[in-house]
Amino acid sequence: MADNHLQLTERDRKDAIASIQRYFDGNLPEPIGDLPAGMLLDYILEEIGPAVYNKGVADAQARMAARVADIEGELYTDAFQYWNRLEQKRKRR
C-alpha cells in the first residue's frame, strides 16, 4: 500500500460506521454519532489497518510459497508411460 491508509468503498464505510454504532449501543453506556464513529473508523484504518493488511499479505505469501514448494508433487507426471498404459489396457480386456 503506497499511502499506508486502507480505503473502503462508500458502502463498506457506511456499514462499518453502522457496525461501530451498534457496538457502542450494545456494549457501552453512551451511543456514538455518525461523525465520531467515522473518525474512529478512520483512526482504526490508519493506525491498525496496515498491521491487519500486512498479516493478510504474509498469510497469502506463505500459502503461495507452500503451493509453489510442492509444485513438483502437484504437477509432475511420469514420462514415457505409453507402453505401460497400453499393457494395462490389454490386461483389463
Residue-level pLDDT, tens digit, the chain, 93 residues: 455 578 999 999 999 999 999 999 999 999 999 999 999 999 999 999 999 999 999 999 999 998 888 888 878 888 999 999 999 999 988
Residue 28 DSSP class: S
Amino acid letter at 60?
A
Q: How many CB atoms lie within 10 A of CB 49?
A: 19
Give the model confidence (pLDDT) of 61-86 as tens digits.
999 998 888 888 878 888 999 999 99
List the chain domain ranges: 9-47, 52-93
At residue 1, the pLDDT reads 46
Helical spans, DSSP H, in the chain: 10-27, 34-47, 49-69, 71-75, 82-92
Check if the beta carbon of residue 13 is closer than 8 Å to that of residue 41: yes
